[in-house]
Structure 1
Amino acid sequence: MNEHYFTREPASPHRPAEVVFEWRDVRLRLHTDRGMFSYRRIDPGTRLLATQFVPDGPGRVADLGAGYGALGLMLAARFPDLSMVMVEINQRAARLCRANAARNGLRAQVLVGDGLAALGPGSLDAVVTNPPVRAGRSVIYRWMQQAAQALRPGGTFWMVVRTRQGAASLARAVEARIGPVELMERGGGYRVFRARKSGPAP
């Protein structure tokens, strides 16, 4: 397992870097470092999900597996009315996520932990994730189950997966745990899915 997924404090030597994430009128400058996912560039799947996500309205959104903050901070910049929660087990990444939010003048709550277990039932309006497929399906299934608990009825779960890494089967797993799934976009070998939690919205 690559340590950038679930090592609380990576042992790899520091190699600070910076990436720029631009889309339309948003330009984020993000500090990165070794020991975390895609630290030299914005991952294409992250870019696709960040530019396709549309919230139902103001609400609380969690970026699950936030890394140094590319996905969640782009959403915070695009949709200032959202209350962003960034969840990341890697403490090096979480520190950078906090610093990147401040550097770009964005508000986000950063939580250090493995998944959404610390968040209360029905406390989220949406969850977004570029899940760590290489960590194994059991990790992703656990995240899906946690999202099903944390989402309010009618809330949405957004996920981007490489087509060749089992996107179709993961979409079926989301549907079984959360609710009906739609393919929202595809491109560059990735697919973006949205599931809506079964049950009436409050």
Structure 2
Amino acid sequence: MIDVVTDITEDAFLGGQLLLKQKRSGHRAGHDAILLAAATQAQPGDRVVDLGAGIGTAGLALARRVAGIKLRLVEIDPELAGLAHANAAANAIAAEAIVLDVMADAQAFAIHGLVPDSADIVMMNPPFNDAARHRGSPDQARRTAHVAMEETLHAWVHAARRILRSNGVLTLIWRADGVAEVLAALSRGFGSVSILPVHGDAASPAIRVLVRAIKGSRAPMRLLPGLMLNDESSVPKKEVRNILEGRAVLPLAEP
């Protein structure tokens, strides 16, 4: 049984199209999850797995945009998985919340029906702060959500590769200074890699990369023009507001 925590807030995403309950303290959903959803291409009927789903933000945002996907939300924390389950129900979105460690073995995945070649799309926002350079939060849930171990990215990509069908699509978000780690993790089994850098503004280095890759493809890599979140006055740009409010998607999600 999945338990739901009581010390929570209810927050609006996608310009109010999505109302999500989340813990008042610890890791809280933000722009990264919405950008991930906006970078993910899907069609009705697609089998979509959101790895490390938290309260379900990215997967539910995608489901709000593309009705009829078959969504599974995978989360290691039972409290967050409970909130993901409740959030899906409250927003009238069909989704299954699964308590599972993404770094578990194939048998653990199979117990929950996540067998090899069973997904059309995997989306994920893994913990990506470097443990050697990032001081982890004393809050265990927040630390788990933010800090990556050396093997984290490779293990998560391996899990995605295992459950994706041939030509299935993986979309992920990672810190920009770790793009070499992303390419290394995708070098086995993935091709047609497209990278979208995300900058705070035009004068600053990228802070995130959104990445799309296709299982089994041998197509070359593409580096797309960067997304600038803010203008010269540090005000969110209109195109970014449209994305965050669910009125537009990123180039990675376009056919």
**Do Structure 1 and Structure 2 share a fold, with TM-score over 0.5?**
yes
The total of aligned residue pairs comes to 183
C-alpha separation in 2, matches of 1:51 and 1:122: 24
The runs of 5 or more residues in structure 2 that have no matched partner are 129-146, 201-206, 219-255
Match of 1:194 among 212, 217, 242: 212
Deviation digits for residues 166-192 of structure 1, max 9, x if unmatched? Answer: 1x1232123213311111453432211
Match of 1:104 among 91, 95, 113: 91
> Residues 174 and 195 of structure 1 are in contact (CA less than 8 Å); yes or no, is this contact kept in structure 2?
no
C-alpha separation in 2, matches of 1:14 and 1:137: 34
Structure 2 residue 17 is the aligned partner of structure 1 residue 17: no
Alpha-carbon spacing, 1:102–1:135, altered in 2? closer, same or farther (3 Å): same
> After the TM superposition, which of the residue ranges 187-196 and 75-84 deviates more from structure 2?
187-196
The structural deviation recorded for 1:14 is 6.0
The structural deviation recorded for 1:35 is 6.3
Deviation digits for residues 14-61 of structure 1, max 9, x if unmatched? Answer: 6311221115xx6111000156532xxx32221211122112663101
Alpha-carbon spacing, 1:82–1:174, altered in 2? closer, same or farther (3 Å): farther
Larger radius of gyration: 2
> After the TM superposition, which of the residue ranges 155-164 and 180-189 deviates more from structure 2?
180-189
SS of residue paired to 1:121: coil
Match of 1:28 among 9, 18, 23: 18
> Residues 121 and 164 of structure 2 are in contact (CA less than 8 Å); yes or no, is this contact kept in structure 1?
yes
Aligned to 1:176: 187
Aligned-residue sequence identity (percent) comes to 32
The structural deviation recorded for 1:159 is 0.5
Aligned to 2:250: none
C-alpha separation in 1, matches of 2:25 and 2:155: 23
C-alpha separation in 2, matches of 1:44 and 1:136: 23
Deviation digits for residues 124-154 of structure 1, max 9, x if unmatched? Answer: 0111011112131312211111111111000
C-alpha separation in 2, matches of 1:34 and 1:102: 20
Alpha-carbon spacing, 1:14–1:76, altered in 2? closer, same or farther (3 Å): same
Alpha-carbon spacing, 1:143–1:36, altered in 2? closer, same or farther (3 Å): farther
What's the TM-score once normalised by structure 2's chain length?
0.65
The runs of 5 or more residues in structure 1 that have no matched partner are 1-7
Aligned to 1:61: 48
Q: Which amino acid aligns with 1:153?
A: S
C-alpha separation in 2, matches of 1:98 and 1:143: 22
Aligned to 1:3: none
Q: Which amino acid aligns with 1:183?
A: I
SS of residue paired to 2:68: coil
